[in-house]
Structure 1
Amino acid sequence: MDLLAAGTSVLETLNGAGYEAYFVGGMVRDRLIGRPIYDVDITTSATPDTVMSLFDKTIATGLQHGTVTVMIGKIPVEVTTFRVESHYIDYRRPKEVRFTRSLDEDLRRRDFTINAIAMDREGQLLDPIGGREDLEKSLIVCVGKPTERFQEDPLRILRGIRFVSKLGFSLEAETLAAMIETKELLQQISMERVKKELEGMVKGDFFQKAMNDAYEMDLMSVIPFFNGLNKYRQRCYEAITHPIILFALAGLTCDNLAEYLAAWPFSRVERKCIEVLCHALNQEVDPTYFTYLYGEEWARFYHQMKLFIHQENVPYQVVDLPISDRRELLISGKVIAEVIQRPKGPWIQELLRKIEYLVVMNQLKNEKETLIQYIKNEMEEADDE
């Protein structure tokens, strides 16, 4: 069973029990413009308790907001009761959620008109706010007064930019003006929520368009530690295909990398990757040696960052490394000590690192006799000095 069929079965059950129920949100929007759908949201006049009583397997996802996840086989379908919301108390959550019997009221609490279109199981649209027309015009328009929507939850500013990146739509003039007017409120939003929206923005097919809008709004100046990215205002962003690259660029341009890494909710791996990328770019580490040290995935990130910084268009080349680990060197510290006949010390590890680098860079063959001869030559030159 696919997503649409699972959702339709939920609608049929709710309708059969005498309740209104409709597809709503991104699923309707994407279906209308021919994009694939990845999840199913349903809005209904049935209360959460009623929804849970009508289906065999449900998850109380967010009962305080009227949301229940219905499992149809292994497919989750999110079902939310028609609701209206009072004013927001923390730029995220409404002070009060009240269930209603009115679909119209439910749609008017939503963020953008293109997300406020409902569709019944027969495919008939219910569109009291004109979202279909805005879809046809490829416009992102706030529901109601834009400043009120963004003051309720400033994250909607970044959501709007993410939809630009995902859909390639333009921001309607009044909506854009309200984003600029209220953008400072983004500093009230948790880093976790901001990070998630930025990740979605980078993954969009129209990331360049989204970044153009973000710079027009001067968003980089209100996102913590992102002010340094203003130096890249006129750049082409096509080389950036992964969120970690944008976060690494922010780290590269901020005044205090350690403070930035501590402030943002990066995972341990993300934090290490950003640190490595910034260090490598500052040190101009050779891409081949970087690949040897950190692997191909991070090497591709490094390549994309270099392309972006230098505004180049050079395809990534898979590196055929002569060794993948120092243990593959056909020489060891013990052999070096025997050849040189000197007391062991830090000089052995320093020499091994140098040999390792030269072998990786194909400047020295990984052959025991060749390596021994190289060591003897190095020691002779050192003695001559």
Structure 2
Amino acid sequence: MSDMLEKFKKAVPVLEKIEQAGFEAYFVGGSVRDALLHRSIEDVDIATSAFPEEIKQIFPKTIDVGIKHGTVVVIYNGENYEITTFRTDGEYTDYRRPDKVTFIRSLQEDLKRRDFTMNAIAMTKTGELIDPFSGQEDIKNKLIRTVGNAEKRFTEDALRIMRAIRFVSQLNFRIEQDTYKAIEKYGELLTNISVERIYAEFQKILVGKSRKQALRLLVEQNLHHYLPKLSGYGQELKQTADIIHLPIWKEAEIWAILLILIDKEPVDAFLRAWKTPLRIIKAVKKIYVAYQLRKEQSWTKEMVYYNGYDTCISSEKIYSVLHHLPVQQNVQTVKNIWADLPINSREQLAISGYDLMNWANQKSGPWIKETLEKIEKAIINKEIDNDKSKIKEWLFP
């Protein structure tokens, strides 16, 4: 690769320092794959023949993040670089992590332990590629293939099954035949993987450009039976896949669509079983509730005000798609109602509870909240203006 990308260029001095100390160092993994695919690169990973303690002697600023597995973070010129020693892995008795790792000096042996051929390509500081497992060919053919024996790869680390589906979603690749068969055979091993790790991969599947193909494949290979709360909901998952193929959907909206189609699972319990972040749970619940209201009636000023702009837009998108209605036109109706509201939140009220206490010469109590809500509704429905004197006159004629 003659034209070195900026992220790699910036990291070249790190490789040079390792080489000057008498060791080998290469760019590896996802950054090399993404460079070959002309995708944006977040971080570069570096693999080296230097052992962790040797890396710590070369660089003055390091952090032991995964030193047991050979990884040290090096801080160089204000940037953090994960540098991992070449290694071979021992037995995987938990189907996730090796019981022990052995540090080695051979790049070839290190690449041999990796998951897929496209992730087993190394690159030198000058851009020369080292590709012992024909990863470039598989990238060219848009193929997801394990390094070596597929069954061995998946029984070592069952999360690789979800990673394969994730790459279908992100890259629009297809899965090579032996790899496909091994995924189907060993899908149940996913029950050994922590929910947090499953969610991290599933979340990436949901937001990938080819998520429709990925989700349908997930059902086709019966993997949904081994995912939280999804056993028995293959049809609903396929329906969700067909709906969300367009790039208009956010993660919370996708979860809401799935739960609306399932229509048997409490939102909270379902998402907690997935260890979903609280912000996503809150957003999904709001969309789900607003959708149920929308099913009963058209949008009113109060519905839009109390449910909020983003929630109403999301639930209208879902409602319109599920009922084969014009999405843009109906979403615009919500936008128009929101734009026409005199206020968009209680904070914008021209008065406060202190004003009410002064005007009524009464102490604080539940009556304040009730009165503010009464005023709020009157303003929303344009019965009175959001003006201090007019509100006082309306309350105390």
What interval of TM-score do these two structures reach, taking the shorter chain for normalisation? 0.7 to 0.9
Q: Which AA in structure 2 matches 1:231?
A: E
In structure 2, the CA distance between the partners of 1:356 and 1:119, relative to structure 1 (3 Å rule), is: same
Q: Is 1:71 matched up with 2:75?
A: yes
> Once the 2 structures are TM-superposed, how far is the Cα of residue 175 of structure 1 from its aligned partner?
1.5
Q: State how far apart, in whole Å, the 1-side matches of 2:383 and 2:172 are.
A: 51
Q: 1:292 aligns with which of 287, 297, 305?
A: 305
In the TM superposition, 1:125-144 aligns within 5 A as 125-144=129-148
The answer to whether the 8 Å contact 2:290/2:312 transfers is no
In structure 2, the CA distance between the partners of 1:359 and 1:222, relative to structure 1 (3 Å rule), is: farther
- Residue equivalent to 2:276: 266
- Residue equivalent to 2:285: 275
Q: State how far apart, in whole Å, the 1-side matches of 2:142 and 2:84 are.
A: 27
Give 5+ residue unaligned stretches, structure 2: 357-364
Q: Which AA in structure 1 matches 2:93?
A: I
Kindly, what percent of the aligned residue pairs are identical? 38
- Residue equivalent to 1:236: 243
- Residue equivalent to 2:359: none
Give the stretch that moved more between structures: 132-141 or 90-99.
90-99
Q: C-alpha offsets along residues 74-118 of structure 1, whole Å, 9 cap, x if unaligned?
A: 322111110111121222111111111211111111111100001
Q: Which AA in structure 1 matches 2:112?
A: R
The answer to whether the 8 Å contact 1:43/1:80 transfers is yes
Q: State how far apart, in whole Å, the 1-side matches of 2:68 and 2:353 are.
A: 65
Q: C-alpha offsets along residues 268-294 of structure 1, whole Å, 9 cap, x if unaligned?
A: 333322222222222328386555335
Q: Is 1:100 matched up with 2:104?
A: yes
The answer to whether the 8 Å contact 1:240/1:305 transfers is no
3-state secondary structure, aligned to 1:233: helix
Q: State how far apart, in whole Å, the 2-side matches of 1:83 and 1:151 are.
A: 19
Q: 2:154 aligns with which of 145, 150, 154?
A: 150
- Residue equivalent to 2:32: 28
In structure 2, the CA distance between the partners of 1:23 and 1:328, relative to structure 1 (3 Å rule), is: closer
Q: State how far apart, in whole Å, the 2-side matches of 1:197 and 1:262 are.
A: 16
In the TM superposition, 1:301-380 aligns within 5 A as 301-310=314-323, 314-315=327-328, 316-317=331-332, 318=335, 319-320=338-339, 321-326=341-346, 328=348, 356=376, 359-360=379-380, 364=383, 366=385
3-state secondary structure, aligned to 1:60: strand
> Once the 2 structures are TM-superposed, how far is the Cα of residue 30 of structure 1 from its aligned partner?
0.8
Q: State how far apart, in whole Å, the 2-side matches of 1:30 and 1:153 are.
A: 23
> Once the 2 structures are TM-superposed, how far is the Cα of residue 203 of structure 1 from its aligned partner?
2.6
> Once the 2 structures are TM-superposed, how far is the Cα of residue 263 of structure 1 from its aligned partner?
2.5
> Once the 2 structures are TM-superposed, how far is the Cα of residue 52 of structure 1 from its aligned partner?
1.3
Q: State how far apart, in whole Å, the 1-side matches of 2:17 and 2:355 are.
A: 76
3-state secondary structure, aligned to 1:202: helix
Give the stretch that moved more between structures: 82-91 or 347-356.
347-356
Q: State how far apart, in whole Å, the 2-side matches of 1:10 and 1:311 are.
A: 56
In structure 2, the CA distance between the partners of 1:52 and 1:346, relative to structure 1 (3 Å rule), is: closer
Q: State how far apart, in whole Å, the 2-side matches of 1:351 and 1:118 are.
A: 68
Q: State how far apart, in whole Å, the 2-side matches of 1:62 and 1:287 are.
A: 55
Q: Which AA in structure 2 matches 1:89?
A: T
Q: Which AA in structure 2 matches 1:233?
A: K
Q: Which AA in structure 2 matches 1:293?
A: Y
> Once the 2 structures are TM-superposed, how far is the Cα of residue 249 of structure 1 from its aligned partner?
3.5
3-state secondary structure, aligned to 2:74: strand
3-state secondary structure, aligned to 1:245: helix
In structure 2, the CA distance between the partners of 1:220 and 1:44, relative to structure 1 (3 Å rule), is: same
> Once the 2 structures are TM-superposed, how far is the Cα of residue 191 of structure 1 from its aligned partner?
1.4
> Once the 2 structures are TM-superposed, how far is the Cα of residue 154 of structure 1 from its aligned partner?
1.7
Q: 1:246 aligns with which of 243, 254, 270?
A: 254
> Once the 2 structures are TM-superposed, how far is the Cα of residue 164 of structure 1 from its aligned partner?
1.4
Q: C-alpha offsets along residues 120-141 of structure 1, whole Å, 9 cap, x if unaligned?
A: 1111111111111100101111
- Residue equivalent to 1:383: none
RMSD: 3.5
- Residue equivalent to 1:379: none
3-state secondary structure, aligned to 1:38: coil
In the TM superposition, 1:194-205 aligns within 5 A as 194-205=198-209
Q: State how far apart, in whole Å, the 1-side matches of 2:346 and 2:386 are.
A: 14
Q: State how far apart, in whole Å, the 2-side matches of 1:295 and 1:135 are.
A: 44
Q: Is 1:9 matched up with 2:4?
A: no
- Residue equivalent to 2:361: none
Give 5+ residue unaligned stretches, structure 1: 337-344, 376-385
